[in-house]
């Protein structure tokens, strides 16, 4: 039987027993209520090393062991070591691991019994646990789930659970800039303009994420320079050789992420410019606002 850790503290900011679920996306991260000590903050995976992560009260690492324990984790090579250190907060995982003292088995049976087994992301586990523990208000920050990769099906699940929670009486807050539970009103709103807004949100999201990705690439490049100096001074040392090879891989991956994001940003800009020309042709917007395609394509 799962025992709730919710202390029932009422936030002066919201007037309710509140928890904030915190993800990685920069689009809504600026609104995270770090200063509200009455609000619990839950986050996940390797976010603990991020400089913006000012505080948290619980952690989630739902991935299988071969994922979170890999030594060359590109998101944080020291993540497994961090998990193994003593903590004064719980880390929800698939089960308790003796090597991770703070690990707590996620109450999967209880969650499935109350909310079903449609759970396609860590956010889904965070949301259902918050509901299971009876938090009156659940706030979502840093979760956009807007790409066409794994997030495509995760978003549908997240929006289903948000709707389920609201139907059960939970106050689930999504910041205005967030993309969850957003869409056109069929028959009342122009599909063209709403889609244009989605493109703009996507571009802004890529731009925001690119800042962090570039910073990470600089860190990896700096680490490579340091490791390379040690390796070149003692090339017979097998441990240094392995460190050097691992760091080269991590640096290449970080740079590849930068290049991918730059390409995605340029594609988003071109898509917006092309769509603006489409809106001009069909007469949805004034001509002066929608003549950007040639400028973007010409650079």
CA distance 75 to 124: 21
Does the reported pTM lie above 0.85?
no
27-36, 97-106, 148-157: the lowest-pLDDT one: 148-157
Whether the per-residue pLDDT at 294 is higher than 70: the answer is no
Q: Are residues 205 and 271 in the same domain?
A: yes
Buried-state track 177-204, b at ≥16 Cβ within 10 A, e below 16: ebbbeeeeeeeeeeeeeeebeebebbbe
Whether the per-residue pLDDT at 15 is higher than 90: the answer is yes
Q: Does 181 fall in a domain? A: no
pLDDT bucket at 279, cuts 50 / 70 / 90: confident
The better pLDDT of the pair 24, 125 is held by: 125
Looking up residue 40, the CATH number of its domain turns out to be 3.90.1480.10
CA distance 271 to 253: 27
CA distance 9 to 163: 25
Q: What is the pLDDT of residue 140?
A: 97
Q: Are residues 168 and 202 in the same domain?
A: no
Question: Residue 269 has which token pair?
Answer: 């800009």
Q: Are residues 162 and 50 in the same domain?
A: yes
The mean predicted confidence, pLDDT, of the chain is 88
11, burial (CB in 10 Å: exposed 0-12, middle 13-18, buried 19+): buried
Q: What residues have CB less than 8 Å from 182, skipping those under 6 apart? A: 198
pLDDT bucket at 29, cuts 50 / 70 / 90: confident
Q: Are residues 165 and 201 in the same domain?
A: no
Q: Are residues 126 and 237 in the same domain?
A: no
- Mean pLDDT, range 275-294, rounded to an integer: 56
Whether the per-residue pLDDT at 273 is higher than 80: the answer is yes
Please give the tally of structural domains in the chain: 2
**3-class DSSP string for the chain:** CCCCCCCCCECCCCCCEEEEEECCCCCCHHHCCCCCCCCEEEEECCHHHCCCCCCCCEEECCCCHHHHCCCCCCCCCCHHHHHHCCCCCCEEECCCECCECCEEECCHHHHHHHHCCCCCCHHHHHHHHHHHCCCCEEEEECCCCCCCCCHHHHHHHHHHHHHHHHHCCCEEECCCCCCCCCCCCCCCCCHHHHHHHHHHHHHHHHHHHHHHHHHHHHHHHHHHHHHHHHHHHCCCCHHHHHHHHHHHHHHHHHHHHHHHHHHHHHHHHHHHHHHHHHHHHHCCCCHHHCCCHHHHHHC
Q: Does 245 fall in a domain? A: yes
Q: Does 179 fall in a domain? A: no
pLDDT bucket at 95, cuts 50 / 70 / 90: very high
Domain end marker among 173, 203, 237? 173
Domain end marker among 147, 173, 199? 173
The better pLDDT of the pair 144, 11 is held by: 11
Encode pLDDT of 44-91 as tens digits: 999 999 999 999 999 999 999 999 999 889 889 999 999 999 999 999
CA distance 76 to 69: 11
Q: Are residues 75 and 153 in the same domain?
A: yes
In degrees and rounded to multiples of 5, residue 22 shows phi and psi of: -120, 125
Give the pairing of strands 171-173 and 137-141.
parallel
Q: Are residues 45 and 151 in the same domain?
A: yes
Q: Are residues 291 and 155 in the same domain?
A: no
Within a 10 A sphere around the Cβ of 42, how many other Cβ atoms? Answer: 21
Q: What is the pLDDT of residue 192?
A: 66
Q: What is the pLDDT of residue 39?
A: 98
Whether the per-residue pLDDT at 293 is higher than 60: the answer is no
Whether the per-residue pLDDT at 292 is higher than 60: the answer is no
Encode pLDDT of 209-238 as tens digits: 898 899 999 999 999 999 999 999 999 999
Q: Are residues 23 and 168 in the same domain?
A: yes
Q: Are residues 30 and 123 in the same domain?
A: yes
Q: What residues have CB less than 8 Å from 200, skipping those under 6 apart? A: 272
Determine the structural domain holding residue 25 and report its residue range.
18-173
Whether the per-residue pLDDT at 202 is higher than 90: the answer is no
Domain end marker among 173, 203, 219? 173
């Amino acid at each position: 039987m799962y025992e709730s850790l919710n202390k029932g503290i009422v936030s002066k900011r919201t007037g309710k027993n509140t928890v904030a679920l915190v993800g990685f996306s920069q689009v809504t991260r600026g609104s995270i209520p770090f200063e509200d000590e009455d609000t619990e903050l839950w986050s996940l995976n390797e976010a603990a090393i991020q400089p913006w992560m000012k505080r948290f009260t619980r952690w989630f690492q739902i991935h299988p062991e071969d994922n979170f324990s890999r030594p060359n984790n590109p998101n944080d090579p020291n993540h497994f070591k961090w998990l193994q250190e003593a903590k004064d907060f719980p880390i929800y995982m698939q089960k308790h691991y003796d090597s991770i003292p703070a690990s707590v088995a996620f109450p999967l049976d209880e969650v499935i019994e109350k909310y079903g087994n449609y759970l396609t992301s860590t956010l889904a586990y965070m949301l259902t646990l918050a509901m299971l523990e009876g938090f009156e208000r659940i706030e979502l920050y840093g979760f956009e789930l807007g790409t066409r990769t794994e997030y495509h099906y995760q978003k549908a699940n997240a929006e289903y659970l948000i709707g389920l929670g609201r139907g059960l009486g939970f106050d689930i807050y999504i910041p205005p800039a967030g993309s969850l539970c957003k869409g056109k009103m069929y028959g009342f709103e122009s599909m063209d303009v709403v889609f244009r807004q989605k493109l703009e949100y996507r571009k802004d999201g890529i731009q925001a994420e690119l800042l962090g990705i570039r910073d990470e690439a600089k860190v990896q490049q700096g680490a490579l320079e340091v490791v390379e100096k040690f390796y070149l001074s003692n090339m017979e040392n097998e441990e240094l050789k392995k460190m050097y090879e691992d760091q080269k891989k991590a640096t290449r991956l970080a740079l590849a992420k930068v290049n991918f994001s730059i390409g995605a940003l340029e594609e988003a800009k071109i898509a917006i410019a092309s769509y603006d020309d489409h809106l001009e042709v069909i007469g949805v917007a004034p001509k002066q606002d929608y003549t950007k395609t040639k400028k973007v394509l010409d650079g």
